[in-house]
Structure 1
Amino acid sequence: MIQYPLLTEKAIGAIEKQNQLVFIVDDKMTKDQIKKDIEALYSVKVQRINTLNSMRGKKKAFVKLRKESNAGDLATKLKIM
Structure 2
Amino acid sequence: MNQERVYQVVFGPHISEKATIVAEGNSQYVFRVANDASKLEIKKAVEQLFEVKVDCVRTLIQKGKTKRTQRGVGKRNDIKKAYVRLAAGQEIDFLAAE
The normalised TM-score by structure 2 is: 0.72
Equivalent residue, structure 2, for 1:58: 79
Tell me which structure has the larger Cα radius of gyration. 2
- From 18, 29, 34, the equivalent of 2:42 is 34
Equivalent residue, structure 1, for 2:22: 14
Residues 13-68 of structure 1 show CA distances to partners (whole Å, capped at 9, x for unaligned) of: 11110110000000000000000000001000000100001102100000000103
Matched, 1:69 2:77: no
Note the residue ranges of structure 1 that are not aligned, 5 or more in a row. Answer: none
Equivalent residue, structure 2, for 1:5: 13
Please say if residues 45 and 68 of structure 1, whose CA atoms lie closer than 8 Å, have aligned partners that are also in contact: no
The alignment covers a number of residue pairs equal to: 74
Over the matched positions of the two proteins, sequence identity in percent amounts to 34
Amino acid across the alignment from 1:78: F
Amino acid across the alignment from 1:24: R
Equivalent residue, structure 2, for 1:78: 94
Question: CA separation in 2, counterparts of 1:6 and 1:48?
Answer: 17
Question: CA separation in 2, counterparts of 1:21 and 1:58?
Answer: 16
Runs of 4+ in structure 1 displaced over 2 angstroms?
A: none
Q: Per-residue deviation at 1:7?
A: 0.6
Question: CA separation in 1, counterparts of 2:25 and 2:60?
Answer: 20
